[in-house]
A and B are shown apart, each in its own frame.
Chain A
């Protein structure tokens, strides 16, 4: 039997399939979020299953997580991103004690105990400051893709100070910086620093290593280094960091299949 995990995030949907007996990943995929979330999620599930040579009948249990989990009627179980990310990371990087997840519209920090159970978590409040959406807005303002934006940040000589916590105000601030002749690379690095600083502030003073970075923002070049600087500790990026939540969901689905 197969356990399926669907992570319906604010920007993308992720699917992971695992074998219930061996917990081996047999397929996975990512698609952009759309208006008809449930339909898109099911299409992705079908595609991933087909590519993996798995029939829908083989999928014994579906766990949905993420922002849109309650819209996914096909899922027998709904679990929060917190529990799923912890489970996913523990599978790929056992021994992890701190997970920093930065996704499309939220960022969170999880502390795990020595057995991988969630000990404590913190999430961003109310607004999208310090999230992937923040990066998207800034990258689009500077006419670059997220990838290019990350590469650009690597060329910075003197990262700009971005003080606004609000996405809208930060955009205004960046227009001002550009007008004042700041280098694009410095602005890009400044934005990455500001996001990393917010994640570190969320953590407070107690961060236990190993620290693992998950979520779509972990894919952007330079973000891991920015986080390392903010924490003053080494940070590892989870394998396929965008899919950590979906992997955790799939593993929880597999557990339910016994």
Chain B
């Protein structure tokens, strides 16, 4: 769920532009705790939601279609090749959860509940504008929630096989993506040629490369951004030309900037686990407010979807797309050894002092996999590990802050001994 975000509060319809209501002030601020002056290329994303909303409305006016996605396994390339814009609909707001809980269990992942609550309240303008949703069988909670979502929204479901290294599973995934291609052609009355796919692959590869370049700036001793600023540099809709220009410019303009004055005192955090959708950045902010710097994010809103590109020269572009996406190291896969491989490399290259794993309440696959991640951190990487299991409500912030402080004390004590 990279670039995965929805307005952090329900957006009420009925404003000046009926197709794109204004975003509440709370969505406009970048948040976080950057201590240096606002940087223009960072600030560009402050009003990302409202700007992206206006973009979507204008594109719809021109006849372009909008396709909602809810997971990083859904290949944006195929949607772009169909002449449509992929928009991420993952919910990050606590405020839509009560509405969702009328239908679905309270004891469920907040991301699933928030996403569904937006539909109940008709509060996500992107969801309301979407011509089609492309869902996927990843975790059980999402899969069954999609059935309810499909009552209001046209939907195609991709069946994601989960044996990451099984050749039959790969074949099945390729067939699923071929069906998606035909389904988009049928529903939108378009033809998706291999040339269209190749063009979309190049475009998405460019976006991934640009975002990777920004993330790599965080390897520095004194990174030019806070982790929160980096997280904010994203868009709900991928490959908007203006955004790509800013990503490109920022990599150069940010060099030499110091995000925090006390970078050498900060604990360098490698954050892993569940995605951090727009509006649900509380833990990331807390990690940085308590004296850390989140230098690397190995999750779907961070580097996980950016680690690999699609092969631009493959004989069959659709198979190349399938291969890239099937290799995403999400905890729904079994075994999910690629995630550990990725964490080894990230911890080394970003010089992490500790690993913090964020688990959204009842996210079974990440929660169970955390046993392996803890072992990896403590025994192999030899850095302290902290698991934080929470939801979107701030009620446990003080208790989590205590654990984070203790983690940082442990890191500092180890460094000084």
Contacts and interface: CB of A to CB of B under 8 A. Distances in A.
A120 B378 contact: yes
Given A115-B417, A117-B410, A119-B410, 10 more contacts: A79-B409, A83-B406, A83-B413, A118-B410, A118-B413, A120-B378, A121-B403, A123-B403, A125-B389, A125-B399
23 contacts: A80-B402, A80-B405, A81-B406, A82-B402, A82-B403, A82-B409, A83-B406, A83-B410, A117-B410, A117-B413, A117-B414, A118-B406, A118-B409, A118-B413, A119-B384, A119-B410, A120-B384, A120-B385, A121-B410, A123-B402, A123-B403, A125-B389, A125-B399
Given A80-B402, A125-B389, A117 B417 contact: yes
Contacts of B384: 119-120
B406 A80 contact: yes
A125 B402 CA distance: 12
Contacts of B414: 117
A105 to B, nearest CB: 10
Contact of A119 (B378, B396, B399, B403): B378
Contacts of A123: 399, 402-403
Q: Among the interface residues A81, A115, A126, which one has the most CB atoms of the partner chain B within 10 A?
A: A126
Interface of B: 378, 384-385, 389, 395-396, 399, 402-403, 405-406, 409-410, 413-414, 417
A179 B413 CA distance: 53
Interface string A47-86: 0000000000000000000000000000000011111000
B409 A83 contact: yes
B409 A80 contact: yes
A120 B384 CA distance: 7
Sorting the interface of chain A by its residue count into under 10, 10 to 19, 20 to 34 or 35 or more gives 10 to 19
B131 to A, nearest CB: 41
Contacts of A115: 417
A170 B395 CA distance: 22
Contacts of B413: 83, 117-118
A55 to B, nearest CB: 31
Contacts of A125: 389, 396, 399
Contacts of B417: 115, 117
From DSSP, what is the main secondary structure of chain B's interface residues?
helix
Interface in A101-150: 106, 115, 117-121, 123, 125-126
A126 B361 CA distance: 12
B203 to A, nearest CB: 44
Contacts of A80: 402, 405-406, 409
B399 A126 contact: yes
B412 to A, nearest CB: 10
A63 B386 CA distance: 24
A121 B396 CA distance: 18
B403 to A, nearest CB: 6
The 6 residue pairs across chains A and B that have the minimum distance between CB atoms: A82-B406, A80-B406, A83-B409, A118-B410, A80-B405, A126-B396
Contacts of B402: 80-82, 123
Nearest to B377: A120
Contacts of A117: 410, 413-414, 417
| Among A79, A80, A123: residue with most chain B CB under 10 A | A80
Nearest to B375: A206
Contacts of B389: 125
Which of B396, B410, B417 has its CB near the most chain A CB atoms (within 10 A)?
Answer: B410
A121 B378 contact: no
A83 B384 CA distance: 14
A121 B402 CA distance: 12
Contacts of B396: 125-126
A72 to B, nearest CB: 15
A130 to B, nearest CB: 14
Contacts of B409: 79-80, 82-83, 118
A118 B389 CA distance: 21
Contacts of B385: 120
Q: Which of A81, A120, A123 has the most CB of B within 10 A?
A: A120
Contacts of B395: 126
A169 B309 CA distance: 52
A120 B370 CA distance: 14
A81 B399 CA distance: 12
Contacts of A121: 403, 406, 410
A117 B417 CA distance: 9
Contacts of B405: 80
Contacts of B406: 80-83, 118, 121
A72 B389 CA distance: 29
A165 to B, nearest CB: 13
Chain A CB within 10 Å, residue with most, of B384, B403, B406, B414:
B406
Contacts of A119: 378, 384, 410
Contacts of A126: 395-396, 399
B133 to A, nearest CB: 34
Nearest to A83: B409
Nearest to A113: B414
A67 to B, nearest CB: 8
A103 B235 CA distance: 46
B42 to A, nearest CB: 31
A120 B410 CA distance: 8
A234 B121 CA distance: 56
A249 to B, nearest CB: 12
A155 B406 CA distance: 39
Nearest to A87: B413
A80 B384 CA distance: 16
A83 B413 CA distance: 9
Contacts of B403: 82, 121, 123
A111 B406 CA distance: 13
A12 to B, nearest CB: 18
A81 B417 CA distance: 20
Which of B378, B385, B409, B414 has its CB near the most chain A CB atoms (within 10 A)? B409
A161 B41 CA distance: 61
